[in-house]
Amino acid sequence: MSFIVDYYNYWIVVFLMMAGFYIVISANNLVKKIVGLNIFQTSVFMLYISIGNVSGGSAPIVADGITRYSNPLPHVLILTAIVVGVATTSVGLALIVRIKRAYGTVEENEFEDKDDLI
């Protein structure tokens, strides 16, 4: 039982990561791929934040009467990673807009066919 209590968080997070990963590699629509990528990354962020959590701890901002704080380091890393994620998303979406204009479609198999024709 304690086994499950210790790990349930990681397991669900793994499930979420894989859901996102599945969308990325299976989706045919490029916008959906980007959505999947975001879900994948957001779930990895959750893994990091879970690493830094201390049960009974408090947010890492100094306050009176609190002795146990959560670990600030993973928070910092994930702040960075979130911003990196949105940067990638915006470039990806901009590419999609251009692809739509050039090919008239954002479905992967359709423009692959057109690429082959050339």
Partner 1 sequence: MTELIDLVLLGMLAITALRIIFLKDLFAVVMLFGIYSFLSALIFVNLDAVDVAFTEASVGAGISTVLMLGTLALTGRKEKTNNHTTFLPLLVVVITGAALIYGTLDMPPFGDPDNPAQQHVAPRYIQDSPQEIGLPNMVTSVLASYRGFDTLGETAVVFAAAIGVLSLLGLPKHEKAAIESGLKSHLVLRVVAKLIVPLTLLFALYVQFHGDYGPGGGFQAGVIAAAAIILYALVFGLPMATHVIQPTLLKALAAIGVLIYAGTGFASFFLGGNFLDYNVLASDPVAGQHIGIILIELGVGVTVFAAMLSIFYAFAGQAERANIQ
Partner 2 sequence: MFEQHSPVLPIILPLIAAPICILLGRSQLAWLFATFISALGFGISIGLMLTTLDQGVLSYSLGGWEPPWGIEVRVDAASALVLCVVTGISSLVLVYAKESIAKEIDSSQHTLYYTAHLLCLAGLSGILSTGDAFNLFVFLEISSLATYTLVSLASDKRCLTAAFRYLIMGTIGATFILIGVGMMYMKTGTLNMLDLAARISEYDSSRTLNTGLAFILVGVSIKLALFPLHMWLPPAYTHAPSAVSAFLASTATKVAVYVMVRFIFTIYGAEYVFHTMGMDTILLVLAIVAIFKCSFMATVQSNVKTVLAYSSVAQIGYMILGISLVSTLGLTAGLLHIFNHALMKGALFMAVGAVLLRTGSVDIKAFQGLGKQMPLTMAAFTIAGLSIIGVPLTAGFVSKWYLVTAALEQQEWTVAFLVLAGSLLAIIYVGRILEAAYFKNPAEGTTYKEAPLLMLIPLWILVFANIYFGIDTSMSVGAADTAAQWLTQPSSSPATALSVNMGGATQ
The binding site for partner 2 (CB under 8 A) comprises 17, 21, 24, 30, 33, 37, 40-41, 44, 47-48, 51, 73-74, 77, 80-81, 84, 87-88, 91-92, 95-96, 98-99, 102-103, 111-112, 115, 118
- Least distance to partner 2 from the beta carbon of 91, Å? 6
Give dist(CA 47, CA 52) in Å, integer: 9
For residues 96 and 106, the answer to whether their CB atoms sit within 8 Å is yes
- Least distance to partner 2 from the beta carbon of 105, Å? 11
38-75 burial code (b ≥16 CB/10 A, e <16): bbbbbbbbbbbbeebeeeeeeebeeeeeeeeebeeebe
Binding flags for partner 1, 17-36, as an x/- string (CB under 8 A): xxxxxxx-xxxxxxxx-xxx
Size of the chain in residues: 118
- Least distance to partner 2 from the beta carbon of 63, Å? 23
Under the binding rule (CB under 8 A), the answer on residue 45 touching partner 1 is yes
Residues 99-118 that bind partner 1 (CB under 8 A): 100, 106-107, 109-110
Give dist(CA 59, CA 9) in Å, integer: 19
